[in-house]
Amino acid sequence: MAFCALAVGACGAPEEAKPRPLPEEQQQLRSGEYRSVEFEPSVSFEVGEGWSTSPPEVYDALILTRGDEGGGLGFANLHGARFFKPTGTGTPYMTDVPKDVVGWFREHPYLKTQETEPVNVGGVEGVRIDVVVGDLPKDYYGECGLGCVDVFRFSSGGLPLRLLEEEKARLIVLEDVGGETVMTGFAFPVDEFDEHAPEARKVIDTVEWRG
């Protein structure tokens, strides 16, 4: 009986393993379940092989990377974010978060989008949209440089979210995660997108909102 108590806690079932906190340092992740430390609303998810952290994790941004070409998956809390209003030259002009975030992407003159699709992430209904960079005006130069389109700045600072010409992004907008508008999704080089997208989708399919 003593052995039984030590092994499984009074002969009951073993306690369910809790998600590990994401490491603060940049490193490759072991397969398993992780939870956010700083990001709000708190989220947990499960990763397989090939994912790495991309610190710092902050209250409105959490990013994982995959592959050698800069592709990855992320979560963004849009509270307080500032969106780049499209201009003919790329000169920064900032606006508040649009009421219709998906519509903003669809109406952007320098982005090409596919049809939207309703999805569910962690029990929260949202809308999915695929996005690539379209035809840019001559001499178009944004904060991200040449051959890319700035999307928005995080309220916490850091590098703005942007999309490169050689990338394809699959974005999911969730308008009510505990009262917050959250965007999740992933982006990879166009020629590698179909290779990495299934693994990224597996991660999103395991999402649980924890607060």
pLDDT tens column, 36-45 = 999 999 999 9
Residue 10: per-residue pLDDT: 45
pLDDT tens-digit profile of 82-134? Answer: 999 999 998 889 999 999 999 999 999 999 999 999 999 999 999 999 999 99
**pLDDT over 90 for what percent of the chain?**
84
Q: Where are the domains of the chain?
A: 18-209
3 state SS of 6: helix
Contact between 192 and 71 (Cβ < 8 Å): yes
pTM, rounded to two decimals: 0.90
Give the C-alpha separation, 22 to 55, whole Å. Answer: 10
CATH architecture of 18-209: 3-Layer(aba) Sandwich (3.40)
| pLDDT band, residue 5 (cuts 50/70/90) | very low
Quickly list DSSP for 156-197: T-SSPEEEETTEEEEEEEEEEETTEEEEEEEEEEGGGHHHHH
> Across residues 158-164, what is the average pLDDT?
92
Residue 6: per-residue pLDDT: 36
pLDDT tens-digit profile of 177-200? Answer: 999 999 999 999 999 999 999 999
> Across residues 69-79, what is the average pLDDT?
92
Residue 16: per-residue pLDDT: 62
Residue 120: per-residue pLDDT: 98
- Average pLDDT of the chain? 91
| pLDDT band, residue 9 (cuts 50/70/90) | very low
| pLDDT band, residue 15 (cuts 50/70/90) | low
Contact between 151 and 83 (Cβ < 8 Å): yes
Give the C-alpha separation, 207 to 197, whole Å. Answer: 16
Give the C-alpha separation, 121 to 199, whole Å. Answer: 15
> Across residues 146-168, what is the average pLDDT?
94
**pLDDT over 70 for what percent of the chain?**
91
Residue 70: per-residue pLDDT: 78
> Across residues 47-69, what is the average pLDDT?
93
User: Which is higher by pLDDT, 22 or 138?
Assistant: 22
